[in-house]
Amino acid sequence: MRHITIFLLAVLPAFAAGQGSFDNYFTGKVLRFDYMLAGNNKKTTVYPVGMKEEPFYGGSRTNLIDPFNYGNFKYEVFDSTGTRLLYSRGFCTLYQEWQTTAEAKIIERSFPEVATMPFPKYKVRFVLSQRIRDGSFEKLYETDIDPEDYFIRKEKPVEVGVTKIIYSGDPAVNVDLVFIAEGYRADELAKFREDVKRVTNILLKEAPFSEFRDRFNIWAVEAVSAESGTDVPGEDIYVSTIMNSSFYTFDLDRYLTTQDILTVNDYAAVVPHDNIVVLINSPRYGGGGVYNYYSCTTADHPLSAHVFVHELGHGFAGLADEYYSSTVAYEEFYPLDIEPWEPNITTQVNFDSKWKKMINRVVPVPTPAEEKYKGVVGLFEGGGYSAKGIWRPQMECTMKSNTPGGLCAVCRKAIREMIGFYIK
């Protein structure tokens, strides 16, 4: 382990088959596009805010185009003619989750958002799209970006301590997870580093992460808060923290998130990263994970490590919640006449695109929740917040409950594929 303030990278060039050379189109830095999503349960409007240059692109230099079709949004970067796709990412946001709440039927709200991409060498076209009810994508916004635009801010990154917890090598061929301290005072940063080491060790013992233990870089960004902990509005607890995290997201007591995605990305930008984890200095149970956005978890609850694996399943691999009996704020989050994009649930509208081929022919489909089918891949009803009409792959999984046993075979497969995307 080595303590540093800013780590400068030497990155080897790589070339993308069918995508063109990374070095032909991009630099080793990042272009960040800040914007607002605003609307209600039926409409969404995009308001651009600004752009800035960030120092470290940490992603694959060969896999530039997202092959998964995950997420409720996506952004694409085309060449200046708008005909050649150079880069793309699917993602989710708290805004889209809010759109499925009862509140979104009666008021409009706005949420800050961030899109990051390798910094272009030449003019490009940026296109932002939202998935609509039928499962297809609809264009929301597009603009031309000139890398020479003097309104692209080239500010000095935030000054913050950084610790390399694990370093396996070149970020272009490893998965880079950045942990950001939230609710840790300056005198608690040693605890933060130990907390990151502890949850990371647990993660890398969990299949399938354990199969790629030597392909992870783990960074600890030591953001300092004025006070310890996090907000708990339902109990009239408010503390001053750097990421402005809070329980009671959408009025759910256990749902712990932050809407301050700009600050989250300011601190993540000091290291190369593929995925962001906000680690919160609290003994309470709770967390939240949003695909290609961030994952949040508390550090000190007895189930924190389990919650972390669950939330990283959302944030890193786009996995759905498989539970169906807990209270949620959403209304018809998954329309039953549409196949969900998440790899670990199905409405059977297009089950062929999911784990159908992984089911042994002697296993009945649908599969009864009987002891003899425990640990078996099948088609078990209940998942995605609904007891009826949505099915999951196995009786138990980390994406369903706190029971031991780990991730199911389908979730492990999805995570392996996502790791493979980042390390090639």
Tell me if 204 is assigned to some domain: yes
Instruction: Check residue 351 and report its DSSP letter.
Output: G
Based on the fold, state whether residues 372 and 294 are members of the same structural domain.
Answer: no
Domain presence at residue 39: yes
The answer on 126 and 184 residing in a single domain is no
Task: Return d(Cα 126, Cα 146) in angstroms, integer.
Answer: 10
Q: Is 158 exposed, middle or buried (0-12, 13-18, 19+ CB in 10 A)?
A: middle
- Whether the per-residue pLDDT at 266 is higher than 50: the answer is yes
Asked whether residue 323 is domain-assigned, the answer is no
The parent domain of residue 255 ranges over: 162-318
Burial of 58 (0-12, 13-18, 19+ CB in 10 A): buried
Contact, 298 vs 280, CB < 8 A?
yes
Q: Would you give the DSSP letter of residue 223?
A: P
* Residue 398 binned pLDDT confidence (cut-offs 50, 70, 90): very high
Taking the CA atoms of the chain, what radius of gyration do you get in angstroms? Answer: 21
* 148 occurs within a structural domain: yes
Both 137 and 174 in one domain: the answer is no
Distances (CA, A) of 176 to 214, 271, 275, 288: 12, 9, 7, 20
Instruction: Give me the pLDDT at residue 332, please.
Output: 78
| Range 150-175 average pLDDT | 98
**Residues 16/62, Cβ–Cβ less than 8 Å:** yes
Q: 104: buried, middle or exposed (CB in 10 Å: 19+, 13-18, 0-12)?
A: buried
Q: Do both 180 and 148 map to the same domain? A: no
d(CA 86, CA 64): 7
Specify if 347 maps to a domain: no
**pLDDT for position 404:** 79
Q: Is residue 342 part of a domain?
A: no
Does 145 lie in the same domain as 280? no
pLDDT for 14 equals 34
User: Is 166 found in the same domain as 149?
Assistant: no
Q: Are residues 145 and 217 in the same domain?
A: no
pLDDT at 331: 78
| Mean pLDDT of the 211-236 span | 98
Residue 104 in this model has a pLDDT that exceeds 90: yes
Residue 202 is encoded by which pair of tokens? 């647990």
Residues 304 and 231 in one domain: yes
The CATH code of the domain that includes 244 is 3.40.390.10
Over range 19-32, report the average pLDDT: 90
Q: Is the pLDDT of residue 2 over 80?
A: no
Q: How many domains does the chain have?
A: 3
* From 248-262, 287-301, 325-339, 405-419, the region with the lowest mean pLDDT: 325-339
Boundary-marking domain end, from 286, 318, 350: 318
Q: Are 307 and 297 in contact (CB under 8 A)?
A: yes
Whether the per-residue pLDDT at 48 is higher than 50: the answer is yes
d(C-alpha 258, C-alpha 239), whole Å: 13
Q: Tell me the pLDDT of the chain averaged across its residues.
A: 94
Is pLDDT at 17 greater than 80 in this prediction? no
Domain limit, last residue, from 85, 119, 153: 153
Same domain membership, residue 405 and residue 297: no
**Residues 77 and 118 reside in one and the same domain:** yes
Residue 71 sits in a domain whose CATH number is 2.60.40.3250
Output the CA–CA distances (angstroms, integers) from residue 26 to 10, 30, 47, in the order listed: 15, 9, 25
Domain membership flag for residue 309: yes
Last residue of a domain, one of 267, 297, 318: 318
Residue 349 lies in a domain: no
Q: What is the mean pLDDT of residues 151-156?
A: 97
For the chain, helix, strand, coil in percent to 5 are: 20, 30, 45
For residue 20, the model assigns a pLDDT of 56
Q: Which phi and psi (to 5°) does residue 230 adopt?
A: -155, 165
Q: Which residue has the tokens 């801010």?
A: 153
Q: Taking 90 as the threshold, does the pLDDT of residue 57 lie above it?
A: yes
Q: How far apart, in whole angstroms, are the C-alpha atoms of residue 258 and residue 286?
A: 13
